[in-house]
Amino acid sequence: MLFPVVIHKDPTSDYSVTIPDMPGCFTAGKSIEEAVSHIQDATECHYSGEPDLPIASPLERWLNDSDYTGGTWLLVDVDLSRINIKSKRVNITLPENLLFAIDRYAESHHLTRSGLLAQAAGQYINS
């Protein structure tokens, strides 16, 4: 989803990025490119665990807002699916012996089957 962002640069600071549709979410960098490259991470960090995700406004909504005077505007694609926390039911097929081992491990560690599989998949993907 394309979000309007505004970049400011004071003479004694890095480039700062503000995302008006995400109050309190901002980032910075030594260059415009670096600052913009941090937007996805800043968004994921800011909305981690939050049930309500932001909706992008048209850029025109913010252009005359005095809070953003003197900034440079960009439209940046933010992948909200990377922070969506809603669970989705899926149907998978596993060998019975593996399912038994998963259930035994989950129970001994006070987890649910779904919780264990989600945690294991997340660790595998991020390693």
Tell me if 102 is assigned to some domain.
Answer: yes
Number of domains in the chain: 2
pLDDT number for residue 84: 65
Give the integer Cα–Cα distance in Å for 32 and 35. 5
pLDDT number for residue 91: 93
Instruction: Please indicate whether residue 22 or residue 122 has the higher confidence score (pLDDT).
Output: 22
Do 78 and 120 fall into the same domain?
Answer: no
Residues in contact with 2: Cβ distance below 8 Å, sequence separation at least 6, in sequence order: 56, 75, 76, 77, 78
Tell me if 91 is assigned to some domain.
Answer: no
pLDDT number for residue 48: 85
Give the integer Cα–Cα distance in Å for 30 and 48. 25
pLDDT number for residue 127: 65
pLDDT number for residue 21: 96
Residue type, 15: Y
CA distances from 37 to 7, 45, 66 (A): 13, 14, 26
Tell me if 56 is assigned to some domain.
Answer: yes
Phi, psi (rounded to 5 degrees) for 58: -65, 145
pLDDT in tens, 6-33: 999 988 999 999 999 999 999 999 999 9
Tell me if 68 is assigned to some domain.
Answer: yes
Do 110 and 51 fall into the same domain?
Answer: no
Residue numbers of the domain that contains 102:
96-126
pLDDT in tens, 29-79: 999 999 999 999 999 999 987 878 899 999 999 999 999 999 999 999 998
Do 20 and 68 fall into the same domain?
Answer: yes
**Any idea what the CATH number is for the domain that residue 52 is in?**
3.30.160.250
pLDDT number for residue 121: 86
